[in-house]
Amino acid sequence: MDYRSIPAMFLADAPGLDFLNSIATPVDEPVDWIGDGEGLLSWLEQARLVPVEVLAHMRSHVAPAELDEVAAKARGLREWFRAFVQKRKGRPLSAKDLSELDALNRVLQRDEQHGVIVADANAASGFAYGMQRRWPTAESLLMPIVEALAKLVCEEDFTYVKACEGPSCTLLFADHTRGHARRWCSMAICGNRAKVAAHRARLREGKA
């Protein structure tokens, strides 16, 4: 199914996991929202990870083949990090897991961010200190993704990183619900499918 025919899914309650969910099967056929360069730009825009003016510049100044190459790197990063998460979800991370994150640290070292003073009406001084990123190449589009993955590792309790219980669902999410009882990527999708399946099973049992 073409990624242009359906909006990307942001159900994980954690940007790093939303990136892993950029390939999924929302209906019957799998959709890869970063299957090519334009798909990557579209997904980054929907995820609000890159300013729209930066994306417009990339569209007009970078060759499609180069964007396709960056999208391929993003897919490789996605599947590498998916394996890391799948192996460790449901338990807290430990210091020994750090060695497996060297690939993220190597990419983070290439990031071009700097501090900047900006106007802030909510601050007593009227100013605030923030970070601003430069976007010198198409590959710099990977930086906010890597940052989201790093923040997932550092800020989420992996005890509550879960896989949807839908039989054919591949989506992951961070369970921030009270009591950590979340089971589905979405009640409107897999939760509803489970209810329908349970209802049909009860009807079959009643007939039997």
Range of the domain at 146: 3-109+138-183
Per-residue tokens: 46:
């929907």
Average pLDDT, the chain: 91
SS3 121: coil
Does some domain include residue 205? no
Rg (CA), the chain: 20
Does some domain include residue 98? yes
- Bridge partner list, 161: 174
In a structure prediction context, what are the per-residue pLDDT tens digits for the chain, which is 208 residues long?
Answer: 677 778 999 999 999 999 999 999 877 788 999 999 999 999 999 999 999 999 999 999 999 999 999 999 999 999 999 999 999 999 999 999 999 999 999 999 999 999 999 999 999 999 999 999 999 999 999 999 999 999 999 999 999 999 999 888 889 999 999 999 999 898 777 866 655 554 455 555 656 5
* Phi, psi angles (nearest 5°) of residue 176: -100, 15
CATH code (residue 80)? 1.10.3300
Does some domain include residue 147? yes
Does some domain include residue 33? yes
Q: What is the pLDDT of residue 188?
A: 75
Q: How many domains does the chain have?
A: 1
Does some domain include residue 128? no
| Total-model pTM | 0.87
Does some domain include residue 192? no
Does some domain include residue 191? no
* Phi, psi angles (nearest 5°) of residue 114: -150, 155
Q: For 123-158, how does the pLDDT look when each residue is reduced to its tens digit (9 = 90+)? A: 999 999 999 999 999 999 999 999 999 999 999 999
Does some domain include residue 169? yes
